[in-house]
Amino acid sequence: MSAFANYPSLAGRPVVISGGASGIGASLVREFAAQGARVGFVDIARDQGEALAAELSAAGARVSFAHCDVTDIPDYQAAIAGFAEVHGDALVLVNNAAHDQRHEWMEMTPEYWDNRIAVNLKHAFFAIQAVAPGMIRAGGGSIINFGSISWMIMSPKIPVYETAKAAAHGMSRAMARELGKHNIRVNTLVPGWVMTERQLTHWVDDAANRQIDENQALAGRVQSEDLARMALFLGADDSRMISAQDFIVDGGWAHG
């Protein structure tokens, strides 16, 4: 028996997840599928996405994958419509896709700025636009936007990423007001420094580990599953009266 919570309301519930092929996204796909949800996920990484969908489907989960660049809004919205044909209209949307590529503010060009905003913010708004009509017809739903503690703790070398992630918090509150009358709740899930393969490969060295140890209130490291389990709660009916809030999962580092 699992030591973690089971959410009966998620059984059979259609869920859409962006950036689901690896890292936090793959944990989101796995955890929602384990609850019996019908999961559709997109990612630009075709091979990883297809492999994850095949693995989970072989185990009996109801999972669909669409290869998609979320910055191509028409293609992304078409993928969401395709999931609706297979699983039904999404009642949970998890706007997870992002990319924290390092960059120098003095070297920024308008084109790179637009690209970073597209990767880290724009697609989330247009995914909401795509799923909201179905949620309205169903009488409710849950939208989970991923933020970041990076702008709270003033992380260096990612100013446009931080700008986009700070904006995600504002978008959640704005859309919570717009959609609340339809019983659609919108919240922000805020990761700390999560030990994904990407982070471990590129940035988690001895100095980073010292920084984590000095700043987290809790010992240990934040894992992808820790974010996914909070997403389960926000997607389930257990959170039915929670909206326009930030949920920080960072081991007790940032002050929201």
The pLDDT tens digits for 58-70 are 999 999 999 999 9
Q: Own/partner pairs for 48-52, CB < 8 Å, 24+ apart?
A: 48/21, 48/22, 49/20, 49/21, 52/20, 52/21, 52/26
* Separation CA 154–CA 255 (nearest Å): 12
For residue 66, what are the β-bridge partners?
42
Enter the tokens of residue 170: 């504002």
* Separation CA 174–CA 59 (nearest Å): 39
**Per-domain residue ranges of the chain:** 8-249
Q: Which of 165, 255, 251, 150 is nearest to 203 (CA)?
A: 150
* Per-residue pLDDT tens over the stretch 142-185: 999 999 999 999 999 999 999 999 999 999 999 999 999 999 99
**Does domain 8-249 fall into CATH 3.40.50.720?**
yes
* Per-residue pLDDT tens over the stretch 105-141: 999 999 999 999 999 999 999 999 999 999 999 999 9
* Separation CA 58–CA 33 (nearest Å): 12
Q: How much of the chain, in percent, has pLDDT values that exceed 90?
A: 89
Q: What is the mean pLDDT of the chain?
A: 96
Confidence of residue 229 (pLDDT cuts 50, 70, 90): very high
Confidence of residue 1 (pLDDT cuts 50, 70, 90): low
Would you say the C-alpha torsion 139, 144, 145, 147 has a positive or negative sign? positive
pTM score: 0.96
Q: Identify the pLDDT of residue 122.
A: 98
Amino acid at 240: R
Q: Identify the pLDDT of residue 47.
A: 98
Compute the average pLDDT of residues 7-19: 98
76 is an active site residue: no
* Per-residue pLDDT tens over the stretch 80-105: 999 999 999 999 999 999 998 999 99
